[in-house]
Each structure stands twice: as C-alpha cells, then as structure tokens.
Structure 1
C-alpha cells in the first residue's frame, strides 16, 4: 500500500495547530481544505449581569472579550488553555458538552452564566442548565460558514493513495460526506460516535473513532492509523 496522505478539513488556524501535533511523516504532503470558515458576528457582549461564562470551543474564546479574571467553565483541555491565556479564570468542566452539563447542572451558586458560542452547536446547553436552576443565557459570537472541498482536496481523494481524514464534529463530518467526490480510499478518524454516524453510508477504506473527544486523542488516533497502514 502507498503511504497515506493527510487531509485536514478544520478551519485554517485549527488545522495548522493540529498539524503541529503530528509526526513529520504525516505532516509531509498534508493538504488543508477547510470545510468551515469561522467569522465573527461582531456582537457587543455585556458581561456585567453574569457571574461567569461558558466556552465550548476555542473559537468562542477567540471571539469573546478578554476575561479579566472572570470565571470560565470550559469543555476540553484545549478550550480551557485558550481561556486561561485570554485572562479568564478557566476550569475544565468536562471533556464534552454532556459532561459539562452534568457537572454544572443545579449549581445555582455559580450563576448566572453566559454561553459565548457559535451559531451552530449541538444541544441547547443554556436551556438545559436553566431548567436545572442554573440561569444561563447564550450569545452567538461567531459564525461557522460551510466551505466546499478545494480542487486539490478532491484530486487527492480521487487518486490512488489512501487518505487519512480526521473529522472534528458531526456537522463537518456530514458536510464532508456530501462534498467528497470519492471516499473508497478514505481512512476516517471521527472525534465522536455522533461524528462517526454521519459517515455510515459512505464506502470507506477504514474508520476509527478517537478514545475521547480531544485534540490529543485525535492526534493519537491518526498516528495509530498511520502506523497500522505503513508498518510491515
């Protein structure tokens, strides 16, 4: 089998950061073709009515005001680190949104909270937490605009070389399934079972799911798949 190539479909900055986690053999010849473009909404955020904020992605942090030491409850280590670097008193409240909801539900002592989010997100976090007694509102601070796969990406998928494609959300996985001209050589790595479900109808060469929904686990899964297909 020829050595697989890597196709990254995250927004440009996130793809470049993920690429840095990987071994030189994977970085060589990698193609970046974002399926999502992040764009600010330019909404004015008033934090004064709130005791803290919720971040479910690093993009939320990037498009939020500086923290000024205010508490931030975050999903995943990468988002938590980004919030800390932006001046928030950041703590990880769970590896995914479901875990965060379980950890924060009913915590009336830490509210009210403001979820600084993208327009497209899974589940009504603010609604669920508010129903539990923890008053939570949401403000959309960024858009996630869908993008087509580039001609270079499509040519890679249609070639004879296997292509490793990490997919970091159910929405991007669904869009990839709609966009990809050919998937018989695709070795997909999904960040979660929900993302994996979006690929179920595709003819894939291989498909793995990360052990947990983090960038580190995704990098480990990609490396493991690469080694499995290149070692004799």
Structure 2
C-alpha cells in the first residue's frame, strides 16, 4: 500500500517549485491534495497536471487568516478531511540591511512567519478534533547560519524553527505532529537564475558537491507526512548535502 493512501494534504505555495514537487510525491503515494497559491490560474493548471479527482486549487494569500482557513476548509469539503498540512509558501526580498526597505522586511516576515502561523493554527484546529495529523513547515539553511542580504529571510526562517517547536509541544498530546524541513541549495528556477560565479561558490560549500533536487526535499516531506515518522515531532531536518554541518 502507498504511504499516504486515503489521506488529504494541503500545500501552500503549491503551484510551482518545492510545493509542486511535494504535491507530486504525495499524489504518487495515494494522497489527495489541495494546492494554495496566489496565482489562481497557475494553481489550477498545477492541479490539472496532478490529475482529475486528486487535486484541487484555491487562491490563497497566506498572510490572511481568513483565506488560510478557507483553504483548509476546502480540503474538508472537497475530500472529506485534513490529514497533512505543508506550510511552504514563501518569497524573497533580498537586500543588504542598509538598502532593505521596511516594506521588504515586513513582506517577508508576513509571508513566512505569519503565513506559517496561520497555517499551523488552521490545520491544528481540525486535526486536534481527529486526534491525528502531520504539519510540515518549511524553514531554510538561511535560518540556521544567516545569509548576507537576507536579514529578513533568515530571521523569518529561524522564527519558523522556534514556532515549530513551540506549536509541537502544544498539540503533541492531541496526536498532531509538527516538524520542519530546512533545505539548502536546491535546484530551481530561482537558484538557476544566479550568476554562474555565485552558483559555483555555493556548490563549492556543499560536501556532496552538487545542488539538491526538489524531489529530494519532497522525499523528506513524504517521510514526515507518513507514519514512518510517527514518533517524531518538533524536529528540523536539514536537506543540505552537508553544507554548513
């Protein structure tokens, strides 16, 4: 039997990148998925690629608690429940601290930190009634070591680690598990747009000698979503190729 047969997952930022890779892996393992993203047309196209009857698309701004609540409610009304929540939506507004605007700081904190809190809270409200559920938050290596030009992003991703642990303690006795993933250099449209010299310098920091693939993050998400990790909560799993061990 597939690892997620009969389960329903909500994935924010699910129209592309890591979110879509996770959705693909979950569907391959028997799950039904609800994708939430800002661009409804792109989200609908992503859901269509996953297959009729197994995926639904919802426009969702994760900084709005009402929209996140509507997103998780869609899982219940469309597929009959909510078993897995992946808080993956994110943005970057990179700039040195001297040049970063207050708005750029606020945007990143709102999407990553408040967005993740909205997702945890909405999902946990449903899962606690069912006495089961897995919530997965997307942190980053940037939240562990700090990156130049990312005082906003590094702060938000570090905050997600603390939020994951605090929330996990609140709901563990209710059968709800909350864990986080901290990816490193993962191949994507965004990272491949880097100047070659920057890309090469980052790869040189990876002991495994290469960037990761989105599917390698999705595999860890699958592990945390499934019963294979049934005795794990409040953990942060690095997916970095050994970078900054």
Greater RCO structure (CA 8 Å; 6+ sep): 1
Q: Which interval holds the TM-score relative to the shorter structure?
A: 0.3 to 0.5
Larger radius of gyration: 1
> Structure 2 length as normaliser, TM-score?
0.37
- The structure in which a higher percent of residues are helix is 2
